[in-house]
Structure 1
């Protein structure tokens, strides 16, 4: 079992809390974008506007999809960064303890 100082463990807890908050924010953004995309997709009564609306619908759907993908990828990258940072801190702490000749 690996030894992790409290500072590293508290960093892990804080990073997890931030990730949960980030996921919630991304979901809220996605929830707010969905009604806009569906409003653009709703058929109107004006037939001339329907042709223009089809182009706008395609653009809105593509942008909505890109937003969802970018948000998901940003979350993945943030989690990977947090794991790497915490592992680096644990490594640094272990090295410092060994260099001093004592384990905490």
Structure 2
């Protein structure tokens, strides 16, 4: 069950990034591949900013508050895996970068 949820997190992120890329393509009237790397980098920054493990508010809490918030009496079902979503953003960006280099190879050399 968890493998399916992880796959849906990864695949859904890729599809969402492609959709955002399509909207940016239509908004700026540029080819799909030209804006894909920028969309991927923006997604990495956005996801990383929301899933950063050490922010100022968490670092300055007392140990009592942290321990009270981390006690879970019931088993929770995890539906969103931030690390998998971030890895999907990295994968999308790297694949886009490789495709851009391949398409514009003559421009680089």
TM value normalised by structure 2: 0.40
Q: Which has the higher contact order (CA 8 A, sep 6+)?
A: 2
Q: Select the structure of larger CA radius of gyration.
A: 1
